[in-house]
């Protein structure tokens, strides 16, 4: 049996018949596919199958409803019957309420942006937005409904680009953020919490990336656990040191002497940035590329992960 309710008429398939519980229009689309598969032709036969499967209660109601007028010379009785049942069984959306629900949606704790976006796309179909508005509304909700560090990155990008920010920009930033988190997990074996000055990171498991720093090709260890990027004193040409009060320590807990900090010209994959770097007098390994540079330079994370995994095989 199916019935009309104040908020949502629902019918589901149980053994091919319609019962209370799910969207009637969805059930109707499934029925039409079934009719095509079974080669059920002719409007009279299709009407008979439809009225049989909706059940006797709805079939009786259908007989009591006024007949639909044809909206064109080609419209047959099956199309008119479908329209009559839809108008009776499927109440109109409360657009204001549906938009309010959409605007209140937020990302679940373990949910990625693509999963969140899929939920948003489902809900926005009920909101009655014009086609030109849909991507803009999805973009805004992805930014405002995201969580944690991802939201901070998206808000920062929105502030920089303004209304030129599009949905693909948001998805691209989210993918880059996911790649960073994946790399962190694979390097440490567990998610790494937000770092602060002075935290320790073991460097022998970090991947290398080659950048041009002040015109010199420089291999740097990608360290998502370090809040800053660090180079050894004298390793980069043209450094103009500024005093720094920053305190750092190695993964063994030993203090790392800091000479100061400087601004350098960094280039990678066609990207050119002026970035700050901390200079140490006793850095005993490759320079570190920390989270400050990762926020500014987009690395080829998939290649880094592949190289990192391959290098482990030959150790």
Mean pLDDT, range 150-155, rounded to an integer: 89
pLDDT-derived band at 14 (thresholds 50, 70, 90) equals: very low
Superfamily name with CATH number, domain 208-299: Acid Proteases (2.40.70.10)
Note the pLDDT tens digit of each residue in 244-268.
888 876 655 667 788 999 999 999 9
Note the pLDDT tens digit of each residue in 55-105.
888 888 888 888 888 787 788 999 999 888 888 887 677 889 899 999 999
> What percentage of the chain carries pLDDT values higher than 70?
77
Q: Is there a shared CATH topology between the 95-188 domain and the 208-299 domain?
A: no
22: pLDDT strictly greater than 60: no
pLDDT-derived band at 275 (thresholds 50, 70, 90) equals: very high
pLDDT, greater one: 299 or 14 = 299
pLDDT-derived band at 185 (thresholds 50, 70, 90) equals: low
pLDDT of residue 86: 84
Cα maximum dimension of the chain: 91
pLDDT of residue 245: 84
Mean of all residue pLDDT scores within the chain: 79
309: pLDDT strictly greater than 50: no
pLDDT-derived band at 6 (thresholds 50, 70, 90) equals: very low
pTM higher than 0.85:
no
95-188: which CATH topology? 1.10.1200
- Every domain of the chain and the residues it spans: 21-89, 95-188, 208-299
């Amino acid at each position: 049996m199916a019935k009309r309710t104040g908020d949502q008429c629902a019918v589901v398939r149980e053994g091919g018949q319609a019962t209370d519980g799910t969207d009637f229009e969805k059930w109707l689309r499934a029925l039409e596919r079934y009719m095509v598969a079974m080669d059920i032709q002719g409007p009279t036969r299709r009407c008979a199958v439809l009225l049989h499967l909706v059940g006797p209660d709805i079939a009786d109601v259908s007989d009591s409803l006024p007949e639909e007028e044809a909206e064109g010379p080609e419209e047959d009785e099956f199309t008119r019957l479908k329209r009559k049942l839809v108008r009776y069984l499927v109440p109109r959306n409360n657009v204001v309420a549906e938009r309010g629900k959409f605007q209140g949606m937020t990302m679940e704790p373990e949910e990625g942006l693509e999963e969140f976006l899929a939920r948003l796309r489902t809900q926005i179909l009920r909101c009655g937005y014009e086609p030109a508005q849909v991507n803009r509304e999805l973009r805004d909700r992805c930014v405002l409904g995201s969580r944690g560090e991802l939201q901070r990155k998206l808000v920062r990008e929105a502030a920089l680009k303004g209304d030129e920010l599009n949905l693909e920009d948001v998805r691209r930033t989210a993918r880059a953020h996911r790649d960073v988190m994946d790399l962190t997990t694979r390097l440490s074996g567990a998610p790494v919490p937000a770092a602060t000055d002075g935290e320790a990171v073991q460097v022998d498991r970090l991947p290398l990336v080659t950048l041009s720093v002040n015109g010199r090709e420089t291999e740097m260890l990608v360290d998502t656990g370090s809040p800053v990027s660090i180079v050894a004193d004298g390793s980069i040409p043209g450094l103009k040191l500024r005093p720094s009060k920053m305190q750092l320590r190695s993964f063994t807990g030993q203090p790392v002497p800091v000479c100061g900090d400087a601004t350098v010209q960094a280039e990678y994959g066609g990207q050119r940035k002026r970035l700050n770097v901390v200079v140490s007098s006793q850095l005993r390994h490759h320079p570190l590329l920390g989270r400050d540079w990762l926020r500014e330079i987009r690395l080829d994370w998939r290649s880094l992960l592949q190289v990192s995994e391959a290098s482990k095989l030959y150790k």
